[in-house]
Amino acid sequence: MLDDEPAGGPTFLDRLFDHGLLVRTGVDGLYGRSGAFESVVDALDRMITRLGAAEGAEVLRFPPAMSRPAFERSGYLKGFPNLAGTVHSFCGDARGHAEILACLEAGTDWTGQQEATDVVLTPAACYPVYPVAAARGTLPAEGRLFDLQSYCFRREPSLEPTRMQLFRMREYVRMGSPEQVLAFRESWLERGTAMMRDLGLPVAIDAANDPFFGRAGRMLANNQRAQGLKFELNVPVNSLDKPTACLSFNYHQDHFGSTWELRQADGAVAHTACVGFGLERITLALLRHHGLDLAAWPEAVRAELWG
Ligand code: ATP
Ligand code: ZN
Ligand code: MG
């Protein structure tokens, strides 16, 4: 079992830097990773593929950004305006360029002429897929299942290595009837738990809520919990009493279906659910529980990852 870190000693993040597993960039939550770290991420990615292989999910990969109109329509800004990241670019002329250089020289703010573009950073791997699915028309009777992976951006700088500003999320997304979607979530709760157990990680399944912004957000969060819409698989990583969500299971009901006018075969608004795997977070959980030397990990865990 994991011990809490001795007060005053190096933190888990310090030790990850010292071993070169994570590389400092000068920004909290923005890190380079070593080959060893990436070998775990790659192995987890393959393991998640194996777990989902039987269902024949449609693989789609998007760049870590999405269209601003799609982002606006998705509703993300209602819940999480504080986490969003927009891409801004210089749209000026030669005079504007000279001003930028003068500001840099003087050490003053040079960003005044940066303008919002039509590109926004992806906040969760599933966000780009709903408009794509809706554009194909009504769902077939069996619904749809997608396999996604993306870098995701959230402006939540932290000294906890598990809370990054840019991180990779693998997701399966199910679209269909409430029954299809809930059966999907049920089966992934089981598979996800088994996967973590096979990796030698202690997990607890807990009801959860998203960190909706502001006072109105409180109500949304309470509602989400009361209706059992979000569950997390939590593993102690940074501390014993505040375990970290490594997998999330989200039932959106008809939120994305109505937002994107996505319909079931019988014409009813589609329901959706997703399971999200935090690839860096699971990697960090493994490093915390089995140690920073991959070669010394339990044989059974190494076999799960690398065969
Ligand atoms: P938390 O409550 O810890 O903020 P979350 O509820 O925001 O997590 P989701 O929005 O459900 O997490 O994202 C899906 C998965 O992505 C999470 O289960 C987690 O593994 C991972 N994840 C979320 N935020 C981060 C982050 N800032 N850094 C690294 N991984 C993250
Ligand atoms: Zn999702
Ligand atoms: Mg969060």
DSSP 161-205: TTS-SEEEEEEEEEEE-HHHHHHHHHHHHHHHHHHHHHTT---EE
Residue-wise pLDDT for 215-258, tens only, equals 999 999 999 999 999 999 999 999 989 999 999 999 999 999 99
Instruction: Check if the beta carbon of residue 264 is closer than 8 Å to that of residue 143.
Output: yes
Q: What contacts 10, CB < 8 A, 6 or more positions away?
A: 18
Residue-wise pLDDT for 264-287, tens only, equals 999 999 999 999 999 999 999 999
- Percent above pLDDT 70 for the chain: 99
* Least distant ligand from the CA of 255: 2
Query: Cα(194) to centroid of ligand 1, in Å?
Result: 20
Of residues 56, 281, 68, 94, the one with CA closest to residue 174:
56
Query: Once rounded to an integer, what is the mean pLDDT over residues 11-25?
Result: 98
Query: Once rounded to an integer, what is the mean pLDDT over residues 186-194?
Result: 98
Look at residue 6 in the predicted model and tell me its pLDDT: 73
Query: Cα(200) to centroid of ligand 2, in Å?
Result: 26
User: Residue 2: which pLDDT band, with cuts at 50, 70 and 90?
Assistant: low
Indicate if the pLDDT at residue 3 is higher than 80.
no
Indicate if the pLDDT at residue 29 is higher than 80.
yes
- Residues with CB under 6 Å of ligand 1 are 124, 154, 156, 162-164, 167, 169, 210, 245-248, 276, 278, 280-281
Which own/partner pairs from 185-193 qualify as long-range (CB within 8 Å, at least 24 positions apart)? 185/231, 185/249, 185/251, 185/273, 185/275, 188/249, 188/275, 189/231, 189/249, 191/51, 192/233, 192/247, 192/249, 192/275, 192/277, 193/233
Whole-angstrom distance, CA of residue 247 vs CA of residue 166: 17
Q: Pseudo-torsion of CA 9, 11, 15, 17, nearest 10°?
A: -130
Residues with CB under 5 A from ligand 2 (ion): 124, 126, 274
Look at residue 281 in the predicted model and tell me its pLDDT: 98
Query: Once rounded to an integer, what is the mean pLDDT over residues 131-153?
Result: 98
Look at residue 7 in the predicted model and tell me its pLDDT: 77
Model confidence, pTM: 0.97
Could you give the 3-state DSSP secondary structure of residue 215?
helix
Mean pLDDT score of the chain: 96
Look at residue 1 in the predicted model and tell me its pLDDT: 47
Query: Once rounded to an integer, what is the mean pLDDT over residues 70-96?
Result: 97
Of residues 228, 132, 246, the one with CA closest to residue 185:
228
Look at residue 266 in the predicted model and tell me its pLDDT: 97
Indicate if the pLDDT at residue 134 is higher than 80.
yes
Look at residue 4 in the predicted model and tell me its pLDDT: 64
Residue-wise pLDDT for 42-59, tens only, equals 999 999 999 999 999 999
User: Residue 175: which pLDDT band, with cuts at 50, 70 and 90?
Assistant: very high
Whole-angstrom distance, CA of residue 122 vs CA of residue 236: 27
Instruction: Check if the beta carbon of residue 199 is closer than 8 Å to that of residue 217.
Output: no
